Amino acid sequence: MLKITARPNDVSAMLEALAMVTFQAKLDRACIDCQSYAETGNPQSLLYLEQWSTLKDLELQLRSQRFATLLAIMETAAEPPKLEVRSVAEQRGLEYLRSVRLGSSTTKSSHPSE
């Protein structure tokens, strides 16, 4: 996840550049999703998200020319961008929600008062 602040006169150009990087990422079969957003009420605040199938796929992308383009975009930011790389160990869906709501979750609380 990348949070970046565009200079007031560069918002359109930065969004356009992010759109191109997003499009290129989506062409890769290992890309699960890639999106860019402007914050409602503060269009200079931009958010860029990528999801990759595996950590290896992400690392290949970090070495790519496409990512070099993303780094160049980051260099034009009004202030230092914030970059977070998150790794998900487990993913659950509606069945998990149902089990928790019905009180049959298999996980134990780490809070003694619960």
Cβ-contact 68, 13 below 8 angstroms: no
Cβ-contact 3, 74 below 8 angstroms: no
How confident is the prediction along the chain (114 residues), in pLDDT tens digits per residue? 999 999 999 999 999 999 999 999 999 999 999 999 999 999 999 999 999 999 999 999 999 999 999 999 999 999 999 999 988 777 888 998 888 889 876 655 444 444
Cβ-contact 15, 9 below 8 angstroms: no
Partners of 52 in the beta sheet? 31
The region, left, alpha or beta by phi > 0 then psi within -120 to 50, assigned to residue 57 is alpha
Class of domain 2-101: alpha beta
Cβ-contact 50, 42 below 8 angstroms: no
